[in-house]
Amino acid sequence: MQTLVIGIDLSTTTCKVIAWNAQGTLVAQARAPLAMGRPHSNAYEQDPHDWWRAAQTALKALSLLIDTQTVAAVAVVNQRETVAVTDADDQLLRPAMLWLDERRKPEVDTLSAVLGLERLHRMTGKPHDWSPAIYSLAWMARHEAALFRRIRHVYDPHAWLVRQLTGVFATSWASADPFGAFDIHRHVWAEPVLQALPTPLSADCFALARAPGTLLGRLTPQASVLTGLPVGVAVVAGGGDGQAGGLGIGVVRPGMAYLNLGTAIVSGVFSRTPDTAQAFRTMCAVGGDGYVLETSLRSGTLLINSLLRQFFHIDVASQPDELLVLERAAAAVAPGSAGLILLPYWNGVMNPYWDQDARGCLLGLSPDHGRAEIYRALLEGIALEQAVATNAVVAATGQPVQAFVAIGGGASSRLWCQIMADITDRPVVRASAQEASSLGAAIAAAVGAGWYGGFAEAAEAMTQGGETFEPNPALRGFHQELLGIYADVYPRLRDLFPRLARLGMA
């Protein structure tokens, strides 16, 4: 009896592999760390060979914890907007450029000018922002021209692992899509975008993109020896970790949104059509033929941990008790943080402004504000930003967002979940699944293995609910007024940010 599926979750810092059963119960897990290179202050790179070594290590460890003959299929979910390139012999040309790499920022305006912003957005679903990996390729073409001319294969992390596992050069729609060079309507690589690069590339250089849940290949004898899994195990298309996380908590129908309170704050609502607007970026969903309308704030727990460390001298990892004391103090502060508002744009702003020069600020500081007020203002500021983002999605699409399902490290904070519910005026369900992205991969594997008739049926069987935080109706009027003030802050500061950026470069 094949009673298990495996979700391989290749994130930026870890490769996690988890065996799940048909009810979505975690049976066993293993992981291996990943190193990250910093050749320059704004550059982030990784050796793709390390992706495969980490996957081997983790899968080999997992194989000792389960009966591998019961494994029906595996699927991969991956860090998005990361790119690796190889030559005609499939030899690596350089380290992979990660999604964090800021060297590609200047390429956005250049490539957008060639194609036209509206056309690029409509075709790929990606607004004017440096996140998509196509801009990393544009940077390579401009700054590493000789190397770029040798490129014959372009990999996302999903395609890299699938190649090692099966020998097949293939990936998922939902992993190809974050390149920003994928036609989300036709589900093919967008030749006009590839031809607009400083040195054009052919779509033949990119992995065959297949629908999530599709069989891509089977485990080779060599991969079997290296991983401990049986020869011939099905390898099924998964997708990007963001979309997979939504699937792993059951967001497979309109009206529900996932809310990842992680390093970044990422929320997505399922849509049956590829709507585009400045309020969101449009992603191919892992759960079938639909789409995810995704909002993102780069400053999430990364900002919180940085502020705690730099200003409050609290290291979250080594001083969890200090953080609990601060949370209790912040919970005692009245909503509104005693007149303090925080704009959480420490790393610029994506939707709806798409302004990489924007920066964070604290508005309303006085001698009466202490650590508790500032910390609460931080949690409220991110919640206010999410409320603005979600309301913009609703206004642009006409589709209601009735509730959030929260995942990520920040979801462990009861205070933050309640603040998020109160300010967005929507219930927040704290998902019981702690490894939602891997579970999303497992659901794709289960569909590919034929366990269920489709993604909706699989998600219903394999996901569960959790504790619900209801918005406080007594605070609704107050928070609507606070939200009105918050929504005015960035527009009033917008013209100052580029001036500050120029001054900082002087």
Identify the pLDDT of residue 289: 80
List % helix, strand, coil for the chain (3-state, nearest 5): 40, 25, 35
What type of residue is 63? S
Identify the pLDDT of residue 317: 81
For 334-354, the pLDDT digits (tens) are 999 999 999 999 889 999 999
Identify the pLDDT of residue 320: 86
For 190-242, the pLDDT digits (tens) are 999 999 999 999 999 999 999 999 999 999 999 999 999 999 999 999 999 99
For 151-169, the pLDDT digits (tens) are 999 999 999 999 999 999 9
Q: For the residues 236-256, what does the mean pLDDT come to?
A: 92
Q: For the residues 435-440, what does the mean pLDDT come to?
A: 94
Closest CA to 243 of 161, 154, 172: 172
Q: For the residues 308-324, what does the mean pLDDT come to?
A: 88
Identify the pLDDT of residue 109: 93
What type of residue is 299? S
More confident residue, 289 or 146: 146
**Residue 145: how many CB atoms within 10 A of its CB?**
11
Q: Are 6 and 62 in contact (CB under 8 A)?
A: yes
CA angle 103, 108, 112 (to 5 degrees): 160
Find all residues with CB under 8 Å of 171, minimum gap 6, and list them. Answer: 156, 158, 159, 162, 207, 208, 209, 210, 216, 237
pLDDT at residue 504 tops 80: no
Integer CA distances (angstroms), 142 to 105, 162, 344, 429, in order: 13, 29, 33, 46
Lowest mean pLDDT among 112-121, 143-152, 248-257: 248-257
70 CB-side CA count, 13 A: 15
Instruction: Tell me, rounded to whole angstroms, the distance of Cα 167 from its chain centroid.
Output: 27
Residue with tokens 């979910």: 77
Report H helices in 314-451.
320-331, 371-397, 414-424, 436-448
For 365-419, the pLDDT digits (tens) are 999 899 999 999 999 999 999 999 999 999 999 999 999 999 988 999 999 999 9
What are all long-range contacts of 366-369, with beta carbons under 8 Å and residues at least 24 apart? 366/339, 368/338, 369/337, 369/338, 369/340
**Mean model confidence pLDDT for the chain:** 95
What type of residue is 387? A
284 vs 396: CA distance, rounded Å: 18
Identify the pLDDT of residue 300: 85
SS (H, E, C) 257-301: EEEEECCCEEEEEEECCCCCECCEEEEECCCCCCEEEEEEECCCH
Identify the pLDDT of residue 505: 61
358 CB-side CA count, 13 A: 23
Q: Copy the structure tokens of residue 91.
A: 């030899």
Q: For the residues 35-49, what does the mean pLDDT come to?
A: 93
Rg (CA), the chain: 22
13 vs 56: CA distance, rounded Å: 15
